[in-house]
Amino acid sequence: MTLKAARAGRDDAGKIQQQGIDPAQRRQLEKLERKADTDASFEAVAREYHKTKSSAWSPRYAERWISIMEKDAFPWLGSLPLSSITAPMLLQVLRRVEARGAHETAHTLRQWSGQVFRHGIATGRCTSNPAPDLQGALMPIQVKHMAAVLEPVKAGELMRAIGAYAGQPATRAALHLSARLFQRPGNIRQMRWANVDLEKAMWTIPAADMKRTKSAKINGRPHLVPLPAQAVEILEDLKPLTGHGQYVFPCLLTGERPMSDNTVNTALRRMGFDNTEMTAHGFRAMARTIMVEQMDVEPEVIEAQLAHGESGPLGAAYDRAEFVVKRRKMMQLWADHLDELRQGAKILALKAA
């Protein structure tokens, strides 16, 4: 410290003492103010919110939340007091994300930034939330629909191609069950023998394996998938090949893991269906569309089997015995209809039993 600076400090201390303020208390107060500013920064509040909420989130969602903040928000907003951030400042950050073509991420960041500001308001670090003001300021998201075969004639071609597939038997079986059971691709490939009852023709998917909130994964009901006769036969034929392990469709390299999440899609490409025609997820849309438009099946029965709306008003009814009976009839009707389409039978509007 120079002599001039020391004298200036002495003079400031003298002025503070004349005002009746202890210089030591003043330094402590300034230190507390600096800490308060740090604790009220965007990054500090965001990390506090993440720490508070992440225990109720899935690990994947929690990791993505903080990762996007660290990549796209903290470098520009992190050190700023939450109360100083305006809508134009937040928009400038979101525009950076849009500029690299990540439009969906920009919308997500706006929404999650709003969560940070709401937490800041609740904890006294700011008084307003600029995020809602930017709702119409971002470019709209282009919704991408999963490619799916939706025409009955084309579905017949697909089933014939699956029947003629010359790849691994387990992959062919996964294709057959994807079509007949129309469950989520992740559930199909992670199917465990322990959850399949061939005598009762029922596949029980644990709540923890379903696409649900963390709370529903822990406390929710399992998802029941009645197996049509064709599915039971496929599984009985497959059991000598993979029944010694836990997975119905194990990875070829190690039976300790399920098959790759791209196996079914790769098989579809080899069969001549490109990614604009059909995907592993497309079997779900195929089943829903054809059953509603061609077979007049009750939509709520289809939605129950798709595991849609299990937490909604009909959720408690989905596992009632009589509803499962309806679902079992529908599953057999669908499997039979796929066989008819595969054989090139005349397409008729059928009534569900």
Residues with a catalytic annotation lie at 184, 214, 281, 284, 308, 318
Residue 300 falls in which region: left (phi positive, over 0), alpha (psi -120 to 50) or beta: alpha
With vertex at residue 330, the alpha carbon angle to CA 216 and CA 188, rounded to the nearest 5 degrees, is 50
Using an 8 Å Cβ cutoff, are 281 and 323 in contact? Answer: no
Q: Which two tokens stand for residue 179?
A: 């079509």
Using an 8 Å Cβ cutoff, are 269 and 275 in contact? Answer: yes
With vertex at residue 311, the alpha carbon angle to CA 307 and CA 313, rounded to the nearest 5 degrees, is 105
Of the CA atoms within 13 Å of residue 30, those in its CB half-sphere come to 7
Q: Which two tokens stand for residue 10?
A: 């002495």
Between CA 316 and CA 310 the distance in angstroms is 7
Q: What are the DSSP calls for 161-220, one per residue?
A: HHHT--S-HHHHHHHHHHHHH---HHHHHT-BGGGEETTTTEEEE-GGGSS--HHHHHHS
The H or E element spanning position 224 is strand 223-226
φ/ψ of residue 167, rounded to 5:
-85, -155
Between CA 48 and CA 39 the distance in angstroms is 9
Q: How many CB atoms lie within 10 A of CB 52?
A: 11
Residue 264 falls in which region: left (phi positive, over 0), alpha (psi -120 to 50) or beta: alpha
Between CA 283 and CA 146 the distance in angstroms is 10
